[in-house]
Amino acid sequence: MSDPVPAKPGAPKVKTKAMIQDNTRCIGCRACMIACKSWNERPADHTDFFAGPGYQNPRDLDANNYTLITFNEITTGARPNWVFGRQLCMHCEQPACASACPTTALRKTELGPVTFNSNRCIGCRACMQACPFLIPKYDYESRAPLIHKCTFCADRIEAQLKPACATVCPTGAISFGDRDDMVVEAKRRIATSPGTYVPQIYGLDEVGGTSVLHLSSVPFEQIGYITGLPKEPMPDLTHRWLRVTPHVFGFLYAVFGALAWIVHRRNKNRGPEEHHA
């Protein structure tokens, strides 16, 4: 287990980055999916017709698709509607995956991305069980399987570029910038166009806050988002107990150490003839 990289007290704060995924602007064109595959050099999918509602392909995120546009037909009476959602790693402020990973293959960096070091991954899939958004995907086809997920284009961000998806989106559905600014902008959009948005920023508070903030014109559960998540960071749930571990061991060490000392003393006090039993 490892804790997320803690900020050193007093160190100058590097501005952590975030994205807004504004589904009211998304036209479902999937340029983001192709740009992501291009940048991450993922192979093409062999698909049959469509795997999800509408034109959705593939059905879910997987080892070759780090982001996915979902197609959701929501019909009210005679009025059809088509709303698109996007799935990708949320790059949580306090990621459960990094907390669960036994080899520190996953790490929350200062700039925002939760990075993945494939050299350290042992394919144990603890991260898959820990992630509340069900993001890391396993490479079931491989003999040396690793997990796969969105990298937030950490290399591009370091080079002062935007993530590949944000770069190609034609409508500006994907915005990129400092998280503080993105939060302000998301709130501004909801405030100025209340009829357009449900008044919720998905990712603002969920599991302690994430680096991808989603906006939607319909309730998030209608477009396949996992809702009802707690506000507290996931590592806190286990940390509450696991942080006691050293103390428990320390306590047990003290107890057994004391018992050993007591028994040892008793043996010493009994004298030589008691050893001949």
Partner 1 sequence: MTNHWVDMINADVVLVMGGNPAEDHPIAMNWLTRTKERGAYILHVDPRFNRTSSVADVYAKLRSGTDIAFVGGMIKYALDHDRIQQEYVREYTNASWIVGQGYGFADGLFAGFDQQARRYDKTRWAYELDEQGHPRTDPTLKHPHCVFQLLKQHFARYDVDTVCRITGTPKEAYVQVCDLYTSTYAPDRAGTWLYAMGTAQHSHGTQNIRSYAILQLLLGNIGVAGGGVNAMRGESNVQGSTDQGLNFDILPGYLKMPIEEDSDLADYLKRVTPVAANQQSANWLQNTPKYVVSLLKAWWGEHAAAPHGFAFANLPKLGRGFQGQGYAFLALTHAMFAGDVKGMFCFGQNPAVGGANARLVRAGLDKLEWLVVADLFEHETAGFWKRPGVDPKQIETEVFVLPACSGVEKEGSIVNSGRWAQWRYRAVKPIADSRPDLDIIDGLARALKAAYEKDGVFPDPIRHLTWDYTEPGQHETDPHRVAKELNGRYAADVTGADGTRVAAGKQVAAFAQLKDDGSTLSGNWIYCGGYTEEGNLAARRDPADAPNGIGLHPRWAWAWPMNRRILYNRASVNRKGEPFNPRKWVIRWDAQKQAWEGDVPDGAMPPGATNPFIMLASGVGALFSPDLVDGPFPEHYEPVESPVKNLLSPVQSSPCAQVWRSTDFDKYGTVENFPLVATTYRVSEHWQTGAMSRNMPWLVGLVPHAFVEIGAALAAREGIKNGDRVVVSSARGSIEVFALVTERFQPYYVDDKLIDEIGLPWHWGYAGIVPGDIANDLTASVGDPNSWIPETKVFLCNLKKKARA
- What residues make contact with partner 1 under the rule CB under 8 A? 24-25, 27-31, 33-34, 37-38, 43-50, 54-55, 57-58, 73, 75, 78-84, 170-173
Rg (CA), the chain: 25
Indicate the burial class of 188 (C-beta count within 10 angstroms; 0-12, 13-18, 19 or more): exposed
Q: How far apart are CA 168 and CA 154, in angstroms?
A: 17
Q: Which amino acid is at 172?
A: G
Of the pair 196, 238, the CB lying nearest partner 1 is at: 196
Nearer to partner 1 (CB atom), residue 40 or residue 200 = 40
- The least CB distance from residue 74 to partner 1, in Å, is 9
Closest CB 205 distance from partner 1, rounded Å: 26
Residue 169 CB neighbour total at 10 angstroms: 24
Rounded to a whole number of angstroms, the minimum distance from the CB of residue 55 to partner 1 is: 6
Residue 2 parent element (H or E): none
Q: How far is the CB of 89 from partner 1 (least distance, A)?
A: 20
* Nearer of residues 61 and 96 to partner 1, judged by Cβ: 61
Complex with partner 1: residue 73 or 274, whichever CB lies closer: 73
Choose between 31 and 242: whose C-beta lies nearer to partner 1.
31
Q: Output the smallest distance, CB 73 to partner 1, in A.
A: 5
Helix (H) or strand (E) holding 158: helix 154-158
Q: Residue 33: which H helix or E strand, with range? A: helix 31-39
Residues in the chain: 277
Asked if residues 210 and 225 have their Cβ atoms less than 8 Å apart, the reply is no
